[in-house]
Amino acid sequence: EKGGHDFFMSKEIEEQPAALADTLRGHLVDGRIVLDEQRLSDQELRDIDKVFVVACGTAYHAGLLAKYAIEHWCRIPVEVEVASEFRYRDPVLDRSTLVVAISQSGETADTLEAVRHAREQKARVLAICNTNGAQIPRESDAVLYTHAGPEVGVAATKTFTSQVVACYLVGLALAQNRGTKYADEVEREYHQLVASADAVKKVLASAVEPTRALARELADSKAVLFLGRHVGYPVALEGALKLKELAYMHAEGFAAGELKHGPIALIEQDLPVVVVMPSPRGRATLHAKLLSNIREIQARGARTIVIAERGDETVRPFASTLIEVPVVPTLIQPLVATVPLQVFSAEVARARGYDVDKPRNLAKSVTVE
Ligand code: M6R
């Protein structure tokens, strides 16, 4: 049932192109984005003037990416918060607030309690969930299901990338509803999302083996740092979470701009530092800033592992190891950049002799607060 793989996680990593395609399928009908369930009127949706995204762990990282898409397409302020913190600070919520709850299982206690709190305050709740009929979608006003299929490995992989595209679909649905995007633009963005499945297929074909080799080489490292900016920042956080969870290795993700505000003191000879580069095309300023961050790290003797767009020759002199990913639009970049990091953590865990599918102390579904 592992389809020739040693671990479910490896199989689930490979299943990502299909999971993305299945999650997107059927959501563009007559040029309009449709959700799976909507117990809210279009007018109620139009009245939304503030969005909160609540989720835990990997789902929270998908939520961070939702913020870029929704703010960009809809011009509504979006706040993203870990679900376990949300209700304790008495957030300002009312009928015109949309709370987007992201949960693979749909049973995570922290996220469920955040949903309940939001509804008590009259906010509208939209769930993104991978499990049909789970508690969180049952208690929500609208639902969009990810169709990643069952995920057996405790580490979230295909459900993460599916959540990201589901978040983007929600952004497009809101944009069309508010009129901040024309129908043809919504359609174009949708087709770009559909094309992401092919891009992920390409990374799987080109980056898996070199990343595995790198992971085996670095399996005895004491720690690994991950840096990114803009949409590369949640990727850095996700790369670090995967490594902690599976390889029990100290790992931290930073916004690259924060480096000089403290973390640079951690950089020492041979420390592996993974850097998620933005595209040198549309994001030239960001790209230049990250290049200078890499230079600083390299100058201090760290081992730089750079994930960059294919054809970006400017990074080559600063990369001890270069992992090339396909050229894609900005919002799709997190999908292609995350895949090598999933492979990396699984392979480090395997090399250290750990159970990749069942890391210690963790459960697939966390039903206590
Ligand atoms: O079922 P959920 O999406 O609500 O679970 C949330 C987190 O517990 C989950 O994403 C966790 O962080 C993953 N095991 C990380 O790989």
Q: How far is residue 331's CA from residue 258's CA, in Å, rounded to a whole number?
A: 22
Question: Over 80: is that where the pLDDT of 282 sits?
Answer: no
Helix/strand/coil for 367: coil
Ligand 1 atom closest to Cα of residue 366: 8
- Residue 137's Cβ-side half-sphere holds a number of Cα atoms within 13 Å equal to 19
Mean pLDDT of 53-79: 97
| CB count in 10 Å sphere of residue 184 | 9
- CA-closest residue to ligand 1 atom 14: 155
Instruction: Give the model's confidence band at 367: pLDDT under 50 very low, under 70 low, under 90 confident, else very high.
Output: confident
182-186, 214-218, 330-334, 337-341: least confident range: 182-186
Question: Over 80: is that where the pLDDT of 320 sits?
Answer: yes
Q: What is the pTM of this model?
A: 0.97
Assess whether the C-beta atom of 135 lies below 6 angstroms from ligand 1: no
Ligand 1 atom closest to Cα of residue 163: 3
- CA-closest residue to ligand 1 atom 12: 57
Measured in angstroms, how far is the CA atom of residue 364 from the centroid of ligand 1? 7
- Confidence at residue 276, expressed as pLDDT on a 0 to 100 scale: 98
> CA distances (Å), 36 to each of 128, 144, 280, in order?
10, 5, 37
Taking the alpha carbons at both ends of the chain, their separation in whole angstroms is 33
- CA-closest residue to ligand 1 atom 4: 103
Ligand 1 atom closest to Cα of residue 156: 16
Q: What is the pLDDT of residues 3-46, one digit of tens each?
A: 888 999 999 999 999 999 999 999 999 999 999 999 999 999 99
Residue pair 135/162 in contact by the 8 Å Cβ criterion: no
Measured in angstroms, how far is the CA atom of residue 142 from the centroid of ligand 1? 21
Measured in angstroms, how far is the CA atom of residue 363 from the centroid of ligand 1? 9
Radius of gyration of the CA atoms of the chain, in A: 20
- Confidence at residue 289, expressed as pLDDT on a 0 to 100 scale: 94
Mean pLDDT rounded to a whole number for the chain: 96
Instruction: Give the model's confidence band at 209: pLDDT under 50 very low, under 70 low, under 90 confident, else very high.
Output: very high
Q: What is the pLDDT of residues 112-165, one digit of tens each?
A: 999 999 999 999 999 999 999 999 999 999 999 999 999 988 899 999 999 999
Pocket test for ligand 1, best of 8, 9, 12, 56 (most atoms within 8 A of CB): 56
Q: State whether ipTM is beyond 0.85.
A: yes
Q: How far is residue 154's CA from residue 168's CA, in Å, rounded to a whole number?
A: 24
- CA-closest residue to ligand 1 atom 6: 56
Mean pLDDT of 62-73: 97
